[in-house]
Structure 1
């Protein structure tokens, strides 16, 4: 859409000349994310303060201009792509850690703070914020909240929804509000904090977050288990999660993933049908018993090898297979389709078997890995040519149908965005979707907040 001169002059007055960009080259930079989708915004607004965010929303609402919040663009579903044009609101300059409060186990941050920078700032205090996406060195807290993006530690410590106490935000009406608490318990009205987390910018702009911190464990042990086949590894995951000691990471790689990683990184990656990376944390005196409990559960039919790292340096070596996987996938296929489906942990063996069957049925390379302790499998379709790319579409639909039939859901941490929007009726009934639309209308009656995303 073309923005009026009146709107642009008003926005410059609100934000300052240096905070509004309309040059095509600069706009292009803010028109794509890690999904490889792209669209051109009409303007980019750089926000420095909460008050600027309020004025921006009010101005966009008055002129019916689409408004798309953006962190660092690491999203893989197209959630920050401005498909309707309008203004992209970049939060990269709102990157201040406002307060670290160890006594109350909380930190107050602006949305542009990088996940990795926050972890570094918390470390001297003996705390961490549990969500740890793979992109943590360069993804923002605001983006983590928008998609409820988590990572390996979720299996023990939870996602952003479980680790955020409160928010400051601006609804699509232009009204500023606070929600949540600064206490470990709270039962006062509707939980708007958890509602906003995972809403992908379709309800409000988040301008501040009060995060719940966790004391950093003083010891960590890493184990690597290899199996003859994926079914054996999947059954081991179910056994591990059924015993009392919860690992702080439980990562799965199938045989195809291991072969790709081995071709890329060499003999540091084991040859096997499947692999589990397991980490257990806690106090030094309690750790040997915890490691033994997890090891007992990992043993079973199909186990080839179970090895515990002697120290941190060896632990890095054991993680080599997982680290080598992403570059290996990019080398095989420039058209990688990365899905992050979730099923109940007990159904993981059935999901893994179904994915193998889909690969054979559609004659398509599929690599599976992910956060097995949550039943969160990253299923990567890797079409190498146009024919395989064409077969990937029905394969993807069949994958989602299978996941729903196994009582699972479409996404664990990547979100919905554009990529999975049209599959939402598979996961949610018409009545549920209409209730969600009603909530959206309450927050954003004019439909300016990230239009075209999340809801079909």
Structure 2
């Protein structure tokens, strides 16, 4: 793959500034040019800044020479958001990975973007605190990456996604200016909310170099329920009942019939066959948790329920959640190719979404399994196929736009936590009208007037 050469002045300036943090070797560039989407492109260089000042120097040099910049965390994106298709410079934040401050009394942490989500949780636990976003890749993904795509996870149903758990940011715009947005307070009605604008922008508006995060008290106890239903409609009605009563679950996960068969037959999970399954978790303390569990059990019961199992001790909890954890490995055993989309609909439309997915599976003669975060209406629809079979591959990629059309027709949206990247970029014209896209482009032009920050992502050409 041809890679554009860097201007000599830029190369000399950043080599002098970054020293061993300015990398030009082809193997290194290749490693930093791919992510979990299985896409890749070769950047002209990789920059490893150690400070905010380094980031400013990188952006200003690239701005002067109109060289593209792609910010990178740990490369766990499934949408191609970190692929440097235009060459240029990949800015990897692996050397800006410090927890700068934990303000336990204010339930806040100040971190650099390269901190791993899991490392932050380990640092917070001794203080009885945690940061709620918990994507499946929490052990490997960075806080910067979580901020870039507004990551969520199972706990988002109670605690919110990344955007709901950020108070302020320090970022570098496409012209190399440092901006400080948000504050260290949980209430702020001062000016435009640029903090929440930057979260989820996938590095297209500015490079986030510091974040002030909102923390939550670590629950002292957890309890789990597993409810199986005769069909999706019954499970959907249960989700509506659960979310309508005051006791909010800390997790509310869904599996369709295809997922249940997978975890039984391939994953070996001890779980009865059913039309749909809900995994429900509650958290709290010794005084409140029993009442929450009782309320969730009442809401889970109803027409079509086949079985309800509960657990309150850690070992029993783990056994109940083993079914959910067995799912992803099971998927990998039955198909080499997988298109995993994280569509979202209003909770009341979940049964219609699952019914539509089942109809698509029949129409395209492919396994399509759905599971995910029922309490948010956020399902992971996995289209499974053999990439070496041209006919299967064609059918899988033909089913994808139909999935998005179905989701939008139900009042939903394209992504709940993975982001847009390049995988869903061209479907943005279906999700938004022309004036809305024009407003987004105007924001992009204001913060990155020359379009050097992660070009070609999020917004359609």
CA deviations on 1:137-173 (whole Å, 9 max, x unpaired) are 1100000000000101110011111100000110001
Instruction: Identify which range, 282-291 or 134-143, moves more after superposition.
Output: 282-291
For the residue of structure 2 that corresponds to 1:190, the secondary structure is coil
Could you tell me how far 1:3 is from its partner in structure 2?
Answer: 1.1
CA distance in 1 between counterparts of 2:234 and 2:84 reads 44
Is 1:429 aligned to 2:453, yes or no? no
Post-superposition Cα deviations, 1:41-65, rounded to whole Å, max 9, x if no partner, equal 1110011111100000000000111
Instruction: Give the superposition deviation at 1:263.
Output: 2.2
More off after superposition, 136-145 vs 269-278: 269-278
Q: Give per-residue Cα distances to partners, 1:211-245, cap 9 Å, x unaligned.
A: 00111122211111112222221221111111111
**Secondary structure of 1:44's aligned partner:** strand
Q: In 1, distance between residues paired with 2:127 and 2:59? A: 37
CA contact (8 A) 1:109 1:208 kept: yes
Counterpart residue number, 2:323: 321
1:265 is matched with 267
Per-residue deviation, residues 58-110 of structure 1 (Å, max 9, x unmatched): 00000111000000000100000111111000001111000000111100000
Distance in 1, Cα, partners of 2:151 & 2:270: 30
Measure how far apart 1:270 and its partner are. Answer: 3.2
Number of the residue aligned with 1:168: 170
The aligned length equals: 455
Please give the alpha-carbon distance, in whole angstroms, between the structure 1 residues aligned to 2:406 and 2:332: 26
Q: Which residue of 2 aligns with 1:410?
A: 414
Q: Which residue of 2 aligns with 1:452?
A: 456
Tell which deviates more after alignment, 323-332 or 199-208.
323-332
Note if 1:96 corresponds to 2:102: no
Q: How far apart, in 2, do the equivalents of 1:305 and 1:119 lie?
A: 34
Return 205-214 or 277-286, whichever deviates more.
277-286
1:15-34 alignment to 2 at 5 Å? Answer: 15-16=18-19, 18-34=20-36
Residue in structure 2 matched with residue 49 of structure 1 by the alignment: 51
Residue matched to 1:119? 121
Match for 2:201 among 193, 199, 208? 199
**For 2:67 and 2:17, how far apart are their aligned partners in 1?**
15
Deviation at 1:378, TM superposition (A): 0.5
| 2-structure distance, mates of 1:302, 1:193 | 44
SS in 1 for 2:169: strand
Q: CA deviation at 1:283?
A: 2.0
SS of alignment partner, residue 247 of structure 1: coil
The within-5 A match list for 1:169-184 is: 169-184=171-186
Q: Residue 222 of structure 2 contacts residue 312 of structure 2 at CA under 8 Å; is this kept in 1?
A: no
Q: Deviations over 1:331-382 (max 9, x none)?
A: 2122100000000111111111111111111111101000000000100000
User: Aligned partners of 1:258, 1:370: CA distance in 2, in Å?
Assistant: 13
TM-score, structure 2 as length reference: 0.97
Task: Give the corresponding residue for 2:10.
Answer: 7
Residue deviations 1:251-275 (CA, integer Å, cap 9, x gap): 0111111212222221424322221
Greater Cα offset, 266-275 or 58-67: 266-275
In 2, the alpha carbon distance for the partners of 1:221 and 1:231 equals 25
Higher mean alpha-carbon deviation, 350-359 vs 385-394, is at 385-394
RMSD: 1.0
Q: Distance in 1 between matches of 2:459 and 2:215?
A: 32
Question: What is the CA–CA distance in structure 2 between the aligned matches of 1:269 and 1:79, rounded to whole Å?
Answer: 37
Q: CA–CA distance in 2 between the matches of 1:269 and 1:168?
A: 47
After the TM superposition, which of the residue ranges 263-272 and 323-332 deviates more from structure 2? 263-272
Q: Which residue of 1 aligns with 2:371?
A: 369
Q: Is residue 258 of structure 2 the alignment partner of residue 256 of structure 1?
A: yes
Which residue number corresponds to residue 220 of structure 1? Answer: 222
User: Deviating runs (4+, > 3 A) in structure 1?
Assistant: none
In terms of mean alpha carbon deviation, does 59-68 or 318-327 score higher? 318-327
Of 154, 159, 175, which residue of structure 2 is paired with 1:157? 159
**Are the structure 2 counterparts of residues 267 and 119 from structure 1 closer, same or farther at C-alpha, using a change threshold of 3 Å?**
closer
Distance in 2, matches of 1:405 and 1:358, equals 15
Alignment correspondent of 2:424: 420
Give the match's secondary structure for 1:271.
coil
